[in-house]
Chain A
Amino acid sequence: MNVSLQQQRDDRARQDERDATPPFARFIDVQKSYDGVELVVKGFNLDVHQGEFVTLLGPSGSGKTTCLMMMAGFETPTHGQILLKGEPINDLPPHKRGIGMVFQNYALFPHMSVTENLAFPLEVRRLSKAETKRKVERALAMVRLNDFGDRRPAQLSGGQQQRVALARALVFEPELVLMDEPLGALDKNLREEMQYEIKRIHADLGVSMIYVTHDQTEALTMSDRIAVFNDGIVQQLAAPETLYEAPENAFVANFIGENNRLYGEVTETIGNTCQVRLDSGETVLAKPVACGGIGSRTTISLRPERVGLVLNGDSTAFDNRFRAEVREVIYLGDHLRTRVSVCGNEEFILKTPNAQGQPSLRPGQSVDIGWSSSDCRALDA
């Protein structure tokens, strides 16, 4: 009786735990320095939930690989903790972590056939021959390479190698898979195909994934959440839409998607908008996001597709309106990219749909353009 009561209580506790969904993997205030002089990762915090696809996105040298390597156990954090299923794993050697990993260069063992590569993680776990064979076949089927089991990695194309690497990282059913720019070496078409493939597998298996890339499109299309990395710090951690629509600082705004920038000084704030006097003298209404109070410098960020042409001077949709001079027009089929000079910015870009009724622009022509203050975010300088 007593035992079953205890068990019941345990079960309930476990249920509660699951409800609260503690993060599956956590970085808590992790710092890393290779040389004792410079911090490559400065206070990294990240929670990855069960089944989530989290991407680390950042420019080259920002410490993405380093974070992944700390998770996998190949580098030790100089400070902070890494938890896996609530347990600190700082002192756990890599082979005991049970984390699948896909390397940028695939790291398929060249002296083993595809089947042997896939069987390796199962053999070291001492699975029976039959079990190994079954799992290997299933993994090969998952990446659609059933007929390639006997080949050596060198006899496969880049995309096929990539799939084998993916299958190998998944064949022993890890709960967390790390991928370090797994598509970096593939051409564009193959990349897109593989992005889809990885997403499909992720959805099928429900594993948690931490994915590293410096390709923003890839990050935007694949991730549940993206951690934008720069300089060893997470600049913003959010869902793709949020990152694109509501970047919190100038770095994120620039790094994700195309972006027009105007520099100036905050002169007034009225409710949800603020007035910024640009360095070139004009005044712009913007949405204060990360700017300081009155008198502080700010960078105004504006997506090219949110800028419109003011036709016949009658548009009331835009509370910011300026006269611009067309510098260059690039025809892109479904839309036009127009580079104009406005507010002292020579590189101001407009994206206008190739729709009926749009005037055709010529370089040298003057046009009225405008945008809404809610689309135009005043960020840090």
Chain B
Amino acid sequence: MSGSPASPLTTADGVPLKVSLRRAVRRSKLKAFLLVSPLLLFLVVAFVMPIFEMLWRSVDNPEVSTHLSRTVDALEGWGRETLPGEEAYAALAEDLREGQQARNLGLLSSRLNYEKAGMRSTITRTARSLGTLEPPYKEALIEANANWGDLDTWKLIERESTPLTLSYYLAAVDRQLTPDGEIVRAPESQRLHVNLFWRTLWMSLVITGLTLLLGYPVAFLLASLPLRYSNLLMILVLLPFWTSLLVRTTTWIAILQSQGVLNDMMVAIGVIADEARWQMIHNKTGTIVAMTHILLPFMILPLYSVMKTIPPSYMRAARSLGGRPFLCFRRVYFPLTIPGIAAGGILVFILSIGYYITPALVGGQSGRFITNYIAYHMQTSLNWGLAAAIASILLFVVVVFYLVFNRLIGVDKVKLG
């Protein structure tokens, strides 16, 4: 054959065509890259880096290995059967002394306290009595605090001396490690994250279902009304976007609270008695109602954009072929809107499981989401590792949902707006 691979195509001056093409394209590629580079930089700084920071924090475990470095060294080769020897106790005393001078025992004590209740006071108390401590340290330290005579304390120190740990993830799913390294469920009273995860997921499902139920007819109207009316309707749909989220959420408080508009009306027309006002806010109902309202546009818009592309002639054809209206809807129109349902559904669902402010304001105790606990661990308990672990699990769940969605529907089929 004439175009044998042995003689690649060349340009007129003998440069291989591929090389020449690459050279020609390089300039325009470079230009395009320079144009997007500010945004790229912004994304890296504001988006990619925080995510990696979060993922890192959820497994990072520096406290024991840095602040008890001598102790950790001294524990090398320890048999774990009996208490360690004097050498380890001496190293511990040295480490604590240094930590006290550098004033960084707080981090260490909190870290150990997550794993074993009482460790914070053990360390603070011991540190306070360091001045009077005399060798032999083993007896002296056990004297100062009985926890040092507990084998489990030493096992804990040894276990947590690794630079990475899974214990935050375990805590995030209500598990913990026994001193011997087995994974067990946390005590009944401390189990709350798994329930919260489930609650977040199923409430998000309910919210997604409700937005679909309410949004589908609206999107249908939007797509089928004459332009004059559909424009007006579109403005009404978009109106919430132009109002602050806080305003919208607090409006629901005004409407739903027990002295609120809805209850007053119900009492006034005699549907309920004054003493039996409905509790509709600061619980699950409040969260579901307010979030359904807030997320509704995210369902309507993708649905609308899909419905708009369905020519009315499909339904007409189906009718003329003899289908009753509902059957035509079910067999012809509805299947064609599935990409819209999927897009709206995944959008609302993902937004919903990551929602924070609305459940925080109207959710009370029972309507709270896992996100509210992330905030709690960030701001109140200051257990950032746990917060990062929960957030990472949430991220993982979202990615899994996205992948499943992509597999089933195909993200490229989704049209927004």
Contacts and interface: CB of A to CB of B under 8 A. Distances in A.
23 contacts: A73-B319, A93-B325, A94-B316, A94-B319, A94-B320, A95-B319, A95-B325, A99-B320, A100-B321, A101-B317, A104-B313, A105-B311, A105-B313, A107-B313, A107-B317, A110-B336, A120-B321, A120-B323, A120-B331, A124-B323, A124-B324, A124-B327, A169-B320
B314 interface: yes
Interface string B322-355: 1111011001100110000000000000000000
Given A109-B317, A111-B335, A169-B321, 16 more contacts: A72-B316, A94-B320, A95-B320, A95-B323, A96-B322, A98-B322, A100-B320, A100-B321, A107-B316, A107-B317, A120-B321, A120-B323, A124-B322, A124-B323, A168-B321, A172-B321
Given A103-B313, A124-B324, A109 B319 contact: no
Nearest to A116: B331
Interface residues of B, number: 19
Contact of A95 (B313, B322, B331, B336): B322
B318 interface: yes
Contacts of A125: 322
Contacts of A121: 321-323
A95 B322 CA distance: 4
Nearest to A104: B313
Contacts of A124: 321-324, 327
A196 interface: no
Scoring B319, B322, B324, B328 by chain A CB atoms within 10 A of each residue's CB, the highest score goes to B322
B314 A109 contact: yes
A96 B324 CA distance: 9
Nearest to A97: B320
B317 A103 contact: yes
A94 B319 CA distance: 6
Interface of A: 72-74, 93-101, 103-105, 107-111, 120-121, 124-125, 168-169, 172
Secondary structure of the A contact surface, majority rule: loop
Nearest to A121: B321
Nearest to B321: A121
A197 B192 CA distance: 72
A285 B38 CA distance: 83
B316 to A, nearest CB: 6
Contacts of B316: 72, 74, 94, 101, 103, 107
Contacts of B322: 95-96, 98, 121, 124-125, 172
A155 to B, nearest CB: 17
Contacts of A96: 322
Interface string B103-131: 00000000000000000000000000000
A82 to B, nearest CB: 15
A121 B328 CA distance: 11
A98 to B, nearest CB: 7
A-B pairs with the 5 shortest C-beta distances?
Answer: A121-B321, A107-B317, A107-B313, A101-B320, A94-B319
Interface of B: 311, 313-314, 316-325, 327-328, 331-332, 335-336
B342 to A, nearest CB: 14
Contacts of B324: 95, 124
A107 B331 contact: no
A168 B320 CA distance: 11
Contacts of A99: 320
Scoring B320, B321, B327, B331 by chain A CB atoms within 10 A of each residue's CB, the highest score goes to B321
Contacts of B331: 120
Nearest to B334: A111
A302 to B, nearest CB: 42
A158 to B, nearest CB: 16
A180 to B, nearest CB: 9
A93 B318 CA distance: 12
Contacts of A72: 316, 320
A129 B324 CA distance: 20
A99 B316 CA distance: 12
A107 B323 contact: no
A107 B311 contact: yes
A190 B322 CA distance: 30
Contacts of B335: 111
Nearest to B338: A111
A74 B320 CA distance: 9
A206 B216 CA distance: 44
Contacts of A110: 336
A168 B313 CA distance: 14
A345 to B, nearest CB: 44
Given A94-B320, A95-B320, A125-B322, A107 B314 contact: yes
B2 to A, nearest CB: 34
A104 B314 CA distance: 11
A198 B324 CA distance: 28
A159 B316 CA distance: 21
Contacts of A120: 318, 321, 323, 331
Contacts of A103: 313, 316-317
B318 A109 contact: yes
Contacts of B332: 109
Contacts of A101: 316-317, 320
A97 B322 CA distance: 8
Nearest to A125: B322
A338 to B, nearest CB: 46
Nearest to B331: A120
A74 B318 CA distance: 12
Contacts of B313: 103-105, 107
Contacts of B325: 93, 95
Contacts of A111: 335-336
B380 to A, nearest CB: 52
B297 to A, nearest CB: 27
Nearest to B310: A110
Contacts of A94: 316, 319-320
Nearest to B314: A107
Nearest to B335: A111
A111 B336 CA distance: 7
Nearest to A171: B321
Contacts of A108: 317
A333 to B, nearest CB: 41
A33 to B, nearest CB: 16
